[in-house]
Amino acid sequence: MQLHLLTWMEVEDYLKTSQGIIVPIGSTEQHGPMGLIGTDCICPGVIAERVGREEGVLVGPTISLGMAQHHLAFPGTISLRPSTLIALLKDYVGSLSRNGFRRFYFLNGHGGNIATVQSAFAEIYAGQSFLANPESRDIRCKLTNWYDLPEVAELARELYADKEGHHATPSEVSVTQFAYPDHIKQAELGELTPYHRFPTDAVDFRNCFPDGRMQSDSSLARPEHGERLVERCVTAVKRDYADYLKAS
Protein backbone atom coordinates (compact mmCIF):
# COMPACT_ATOMS: atom_id res chain seq x y z
CA MET A 1 0.00 0.00 0.00
CA GLN A 2 1.55 3.22 -1.11
CA LEU A 3 0.44 6.47 0.47
CA HIS A 4 0.33 8.41 -2.80
CA LEU A 5 -2.11 5.87 -4.28
CA LEU A 6 -4.66 6.13 -1.45
CA THR A 7 -7.33 8.68 -0.59
CA TRP A 8 -7.34 10.53 2.73
CA MET A 9 -10.30 8.42 3.81
CA GLU A 10 -8.36 5.22 3.20
CA VAL A 11 -5.49 6.62 5.26
CA GLU A 12 -7.92 7.46 8.06
CA ASP A 13 -9.18 3.87 7.97
CA TYR A 14 -5.62 2.49 8.00
CA LEU A 15 -4.90 4.52 11.14
CA LYS A 16 -7.68 2.67 12.96
CA THR A 17 -5.62 -0.54 12.72
CA SER A 18 -2.01 0.66 12.55
CA GLN A 19 0.02 3.73 13.38
CA GLY A 20 3.11 2.49 11.56
CA ILE A 21 4.58 3.50 8.21
CA ILE A 22 7.62 2.46 6.21
CA VAL A 23 9.54 5.33 4.60
CA PRO A 24 12.15 4.52 1.94
CA ILE A 25 15.06 6.99 1.97
CA GLY A 26 17.93 7.17 -0.48
CA SER A 27 19.98 9.62 -2.47
CA THR A 28 20.35 10.92 -6.01
CA GLU A 29 24.04 10.52 -6.76
CA GLN A 30 26.56 9.03 -9.13
CA HIS A 31 27.14 5.28 -8.84
CA GLY A 32 30.14 4.78 -11.09
CA PRO A 33 30.13 3.95 -14.82
CA MET A 34 27.45 1.20 -14.57
CA GLY A 35 25.27 2.28 -11.65
CA LEU A 36 22.15 4.41 -12.09
CA ILE A 37 22.04 7.83 -10.40
CA GLY A 38 18.87 6.72 -8.60
CA THR A 39 20.36 3.47 -7.24
CA ASP A 40 20.05 4.41 -3.55
CA CYS A 41 16.33 5.31 -3.93
CA ILE A 42 15.42 2.47 -6.26
CA CYS A 43 16.67 -0.27 -3.90
CA PRO A 44 14.78 0.65 -0.70
CA GLY A 45 11.79 1.77 -2.80
CA VAL A 46 11.40 -1.60 -4.54
CA ILE A 47 11.84 -3.54 -1.30
CA ALA A 48 9.44 -1.34 0.70
CA GLU A 49 6.79 -1.42 -2.03
CA ARG A 50 6.77 -5.20 -1.97
CA VAL A 51 6.68 -5.43 1.83
CA GLY A 52 3.80 -2.95 1.80
CA ARG A 53 1.89 -4.93 -0.81
CA GLU A 54 2.38 -8.31 0.85
CA GLU A 55 1.87 -7.21 4.47
CA GLY A 56 -0.70 -4.42 4.12
CA VAL A 57 1.74 -1.90 5.59
CA LEU A 58 1.59 1.68 4.41
CA VAL A 59 4.66 2.96 2.53
CA GLY A 60 5.29 6.70 2.40
CA PRO A 61 6.78 8.64 -0.52
CA THR A 62 10.47 7.84 -1.04
CA ILE A 63 12.79 10.55 0.20
CA SER A 64 14.93 10.59 -2.91
CA LEU A 65 17.41 13.31 -1.98
CA GLY A 66 19.96 12.72 0.75
CA MET A 67 23.40 13.63 2.00
CA ALA A 68 25.49 13.28 -1.16
CA GLN A 69 28.02 16.09 -0.90
CA HIS A 70 30.91 13.66 -1.54
CA HIS A 71 29.51 12.95 -5.00
CA LEU A 72 28.85 16.51 -6.16
CA ALA A 73 31.88 16.59 -8.46
CA PHE A 74 30.08 14.07 -10.69
CA PRO A 75 27.28 15.40 -12.93
CA GLY A 76 23.74 14.39 -12.02
CA THR A 77 24.30 14.29 -8.27
CA ILE A 78 21.89 16.32 -6.14
CA SER A 79 22.72 16.75 -2.45
CA LEU A 80 20.96 18.20 0.55
CA ARG A 81 22.99 19.77 3.35
CA PRO A 82 22.65 17.94 6.67
CA SER A 83 20.57 20.82 8.04
CA THR A 84 18.17 20.63 5.05
CA LEU A 85 17.71 16.86 5.40
CA ILE A 86 17.08 17.22 9.14
CA ALA A 87 14.44 19.90 8.44
CA LEU A 88 12.83 17.72 5.76
CA LEU A 89 12.67 14.67 8.06
CA LYS A 90 11.19 16.73 10.91
CA ASP A 91 8.44 18.03 8.62
CA TYR A 92 7.78 14.59 7.06
CA VAL A 93 7.37 12.96 10.49
CA GLY A 94 5.59 16.02 11.91
CA SER A 95 2.98 16.06 9.12
CA LEU A 96 2.09 12.38 9.45
CA SER A 97 2.20 12.32 13.26
CA ARG A 98 -0.24 15.23 13.39
CA ASN A 99 -2.98 12.88 12.20
CA GLY A 100 -2.01 9.79 14.12
CA PHE A 101 1.12 8.06 12.78
CA ARG A 102 3.46 7.12 15.62
CA ARG A 103 5.95 4.48 14.35
CA PHE A 104 8.28 5.51 11.55
CA TYR A 105 10.46 2.85 9.97
CA PHE A 106 12.99 4.36 7.59
CA LEU A 107 14.42 1.88 5.09
CA ASN A 108 17.68 3.44 3.97
CA GLY A 109 19.73 2.87 0.83
CA HIS A 110 22.62 5.27 1.40
CA GLY A 111 25.35 5.08 4.04
CA GLY A 112 25.97 8.83 3.80
CA ASN A 113 22.50 9.48 5.27
CA ILE A 114 23.02 7.59 8.52
CA ALA A 115 24.59 10.28 10.73
CA THR A 116 22.16 12.95 9.55
CA VAL A 117 19.07 10.76 9.92
CA GLN A 118 20.14 9.87 13.47
CA SER A 119 20.55 13.61 14.18
CA ALA A 120 17.04 14.22 12.83
CA PHE A 121 15.68 11.54 15.18
CA ALA A 122 17.48 13.29 18.08
CA GLU A 123 15.84 16.60 17.04
CA ILE A 124 12.40 14.94 16.85
CA TYR A 125 12.83 13.35 20.29
CA ALA A 126 14.16 16.62 21.75
CA GLY A 127 11.12 18.40 20.32
CA GLN A 128 8.67 16.03 21.97
CA SER A 129 10.59 16.10 25.27
CA PHE A 130 9.48 19.70 25.62
CA LEU A 131 5.81 18.84 25.19
CA ALA A 132 3.61 18.25 28.22
CA ASN A 133 0.82 16.36 26.42
CA PRO A 134 1.68 12.63 26.70
CA GLU A 135 -0.20 11.80 23.48
CA SER A 136 2.15 13.99 21.49
CA ARG A 137 5.21 12.40 23.04
CA ASP A 138 5.14 8.84 21.77
CA ILE A 139 6.65 9.12 18.30
CA ARG A 140 9.38 6.57 17.61
CA CYS A 141 11.68 6.34 14.62
CA LYS A 142 13.93 3.54 13.43
CA LEU A 143 16.54 3.43 10.71
CA THR A 144 17.38 0.18 8.92
CA ASN A 145 19.92 -0.03 6.10
CA TRP A 146 18.62 -2.67 3.69
CA TYR A 147 22.14 -3.86 2.78
CA ASP A 148 23.10 -4.34 6.45
CA LEU A 149 20.31 -6.80 7.26
CA PRO A 150 22.21 -10.00 8.18
CA GLU A 151 20.59 -12.27 5.55
CA VAL A 152 21.24 -9.71 2.82
CA ALA A 153 24.85 -9.03 3.83
CA GLU A 154 25.44 -12.79 3.92
CA LEU A 155 24.16 -13.27 0.36
CA ALA A 156 26.22 -10.30 -0.88
CA ARG A 157 29.33 -11.88 0.69
CA GLU A 158 28.49 -15.22 -0.90
CA LEU A 159 28.05 -13.65 -4.33
CA TYR A 160 30.84 -11.07 -4.37
CA ALA A 161 33.15 -11.55 -1.34
CA ASP A 162 35.51 -8.55 -1.06
CA LYS A 163 34.47 -7.28 -4.52
CA GLU A 164 31.29 -5.92 -2.90
CA GLY A 165 33.22 -2.83 -1.74
CA HIS A 166 31.58 0.37 -0.50
CA HIS A 167 30.07 2.35 -3.35
CA ALA A 168 28.38 1.30 -6.60
CA THR A 169 28.38 -2.18 -5.08
CA PRO A 170 27.46 -5.14 -7.28
CA SER A 171 24.58 -5.94 -4.91
CA GLU A 172 22.90 -2.54 -5.22
CA VAL A 173 23.50 -2.46 -8.98
CA SER A 174 21.98 -5.97 -9.22
CA VAL A 175 18.83 -4.80 -7.46
CA THR A 176 18.42 -1.91 -9.92
CA GLN A 177 19.01 -4.30 -12.85
CA PHE A 178 16.24 -6.55 -11.52
CA ALA A 179 13.94 -3.55 -11.00
CA TYR A 180 14.72 -1.86 -14.33
CA PRO A 181 15.90 -4.51 -16.84
CA ASP A 182 15.57 -2.00 -19.69
CA HIS A 183 18.14 0.28 -18.09
CA ILE A 184 21.06 -2.09 -17.58
CA LYS A 185 24.30 -0.28 -18.45
CA GLN A 186 27.45 -1.78 -19.89
CA ALA A 187 30.86 -0.13 -19.41
CA GLU A 188 34.53 -0.99 -19.58
CA LEU A 189 35.65 -0.84 -15.98
CA GLY A 190 39.29 -0.15 -15.16
CA GLU A 191 41.22 -1.39 -12.14
CA LEU A 192 39.75 -0.49 -8.75
CA THR A 193 41.51 2.45 -7.11
CA PRO A 194 43.21 1.46 -3.83
CA TYR A 195 41.55 2.76 -0.68
CA HIS A 196 43.78 4.96 1.47
CA ARG A 197 41.34 7.10 3.44
CA PHE A 198 37.76 8.36 3.36
CA PRO A 199 37.62 11.53 1.22
CA THR A 200 36.68 14.83 2.84
CA ASP A 201 34.67 16.59 0.14
CA ALA A 202 33.51 16.39 -3.46
CA VAL A 203 36.81 17.32 -5.14
CA ASP A 204 38.78 15.04 -2.84
CA PHE A 205 36.38 12.16 -3.59
CA ARG A 206 36.81 12.49 -7.34
CA ASN A 207 40.60 12.66 -6.93
CA CYS A 208 40.61 9.54 -4.75
CA PHE A 209 38.06 7.57 -6.82
CA PRO A 210 38.10 8.94 -10.39
CA ASP A 211 35.38 6.67 -11.82
CA GLY A 212 33.14 7.06 -8.77
CA ARG A 213 33.37 3.53 -7.36
CA MET A 214 34.81 2.76 -3.93
CA GLN A 215 36.29 -0.74 -4.01
CA SER A 216 33.21 -2.17 -5.73
CA ASP A 217 33.29 -4.35 -8.82
CA SER A 218 29.94 -3.31 -10.32
CA SER A 219 30.57 -5.58 -13.35
CA LEU A 220 29.64 -8.61 -11.21
CA ALA A 221 26.05 -7.33 -10.97
CA ARG A 222 23.30 -9.52 -12.50
CA PRO A 223 19.53 -9.03 -12.54
CA GLU A 224 19.03 -12.58 -11.22
CA HIS A 225 21.24 -11.71 -8.22
CA GLY A 226 19.03 -8.66 -7.72
CA GLU A 227 15.95 -10.87 -7.61
CA ARG A 228 17.52 -13.07 -4.90
CA LEU A 229 18.69 -10.05 -2.90
CA VAL A 230 15.22 -8.44 -3.04
CA GLU A 231 13.61 -11.74 -2.01
CA ARG A 232 15.88 -12.04 1.03
CA CYS A 233 15.53 -8.42 1.94
CA VAL A 234 11.73 -8.44 1.76
CA THR A 235 11.65 -11.37 4.22
CA ALA A 236 14.16 -9.64 6.51
CA VAL A 237 12.31 -6.31 6.46
CA LYS A 238 8.98 -7.99 7.27
CA ARG A 239 10.58 -9.52 10.35
CA ASP A 240 12.49 -6.36 11.32
CA TYR A 241 9.39 -4.16 10.98
CA ALA A 242 7.20 -6.54 13.00
CA ASP A 243 9.88 -6.75 15.73
CA TYR A 244 10.09 -2.97 15.78
CA LEU A 245 6.34 -2.53 16.26
CA LYS A 246 6.33 -5.16 18.99
CA ALA A 247 9.26 -3.66 20.86
CA SER A 248 8.37 0.03 20.65
Q: Which residues are at the interface with Ni ion (CB under 5 A)? A: 39-40, 172
Total Cβ atoms within 10 A of residue 82:
18
Nearer to Ni ion, 40 or 240 (CB): 40
Tell me how far, at minimum, the Cβ of 65 lies from Ni ion, in Å.
14
Alpha-helical segments (H) within the chain: 8-17, 39-55, 82-98, 114-129, 150-160, 170-179, 202-208, 223-247
Nearer to Ni ion, 49 or 164 (CB): 164
Tell me how far, at minimum, the Cβ of 208 lies from Ni ion, in Å.
17
Tell me how far, at minimum, the Cβ of 136 lies from Ni ion, in Å.
36
Tell me how far, at minimum, the Cβ of 73 lies from Ni ion, in Å.
16
Nearer to Ni ion, 28 or 97 (CB): 28
Tell me how far, at minimum, the Cβ of 68 lies from Ni ion, in Å.
10
Nearer to Ni ion, 57 or 117 (CB): 117
CA distance 159 to 88: 36
What sign has the CA pseudo-torsion 53, 54, 57, 61?
A: negative
Nearer to Ni ion, 35 or 60 (CB): 35
Total Cβ atoms within 10 A of residue 113:
27
CA distance 26 to 24: 7
Query: What's the Cα-to-Cα distance from 232 to each of 51, 156, 172, 196, 217, rounded to whole Å?
Result: 11, 11, 13, 33, 21
CB-nearest residue to Ni ion: 40
